[in-house]
Amino acid sequence: MAAFIARGRPLIGVTASVHGSRIAWWANRLALRRAGARAVRITARDPFPIERLDGLVVGGGDDIDAALYGETALPKMRIDPERDRLELCALDGAAARRLPVLGICRGSQMINVHRGGSLLTDIHEVYEEAPRLRTVLPRKRIRIDPRSHLYRILGIAECRVNALHHQAVDRLGDGLRVVARETVGIVQGIEAVHHPFLIGVQWHPEYLVADQRQQALFRTLAATAAGTASLEDATAL
């Protein structure tokens, strides 16, 4: 947190695959810049010291290795073991330093796995009635727990989000709670019970650039990383 005083803006790490989409990186970088933060891209090939960060975004990407939560990978799963190790290590460091963390899509799932939880390897095998959506446009309706940190940030109990996933949180990890679901029941948001900002969302707020409620996730992350705001102040940011 003291880094904010020395450099003027908090430094947020954004994890990504070595060969991952640059579009997601630039979208996250822009969202963080608009929120008043600087961003650094972190990959297995280009790691970054966690002790130099003020906050962390665990980004979207390939599936997480099912062996990490005691399941067998499906043939269609595309995994990135090096990134898995990088993010688990980054989350260890963030936990030790109590850094604010935002998990996006895969990143939300990784937060759950890091805390001992499991995933649905394919949501459509369990939720057969779930629409098979894959779009950056807000086409999926979700409900948010009004008692949650996520609700205080977004300021709304229902909204539409985008969908680029086929996996989701199943068994919750230690100290986590479900704070958002879509109408068929699939988990769309999780957060830590005893942490100033450890939130995972199954959608991609970085692509919803015109939605100020969604961009509040980045503003609150940046402000918390800078040590200038609490979650109670989030709706005023």
* Residues 102-154: tens digit of each pLDDT: 999 999 999 999 999 999 998 888 787 777 778 899 999 999 999 999 999 99
d(CA 132, CA 96): 38
| 192-221 pLDDT per residue, tens | 999 999 999 999 999 999 999 999 999 999
What CATH number corresponds to the domain at position 205?
3.40.50.880
Q: What pLDDT sits at residue 14?
A: 98
What is the tens place of the pLDDT at every residue in 18-65? 987 789 999 999 999 999 999 999 999 999 999 999 999 999 999 999
Contact between residue 149 and residue 198 where contact means Cβ atoms under 8 Å apart? no
| Model confidence, pTM | 0.92
Residue 192's contacts (CB-CB under 8 Å, 6 or more residues apart) are 175, 176, 198, 199
d(CA 58, CA 42): 10
How many domains are contained in the chain?
A: 1
- The CA-based diameter of the chain, rounded to the nearest angstrom, is 52
Domain range for 44: 3-236
- CB 134 within 8 Å of CB 163: yes
CA end-to-end distance (rounded Å), the chain: 18
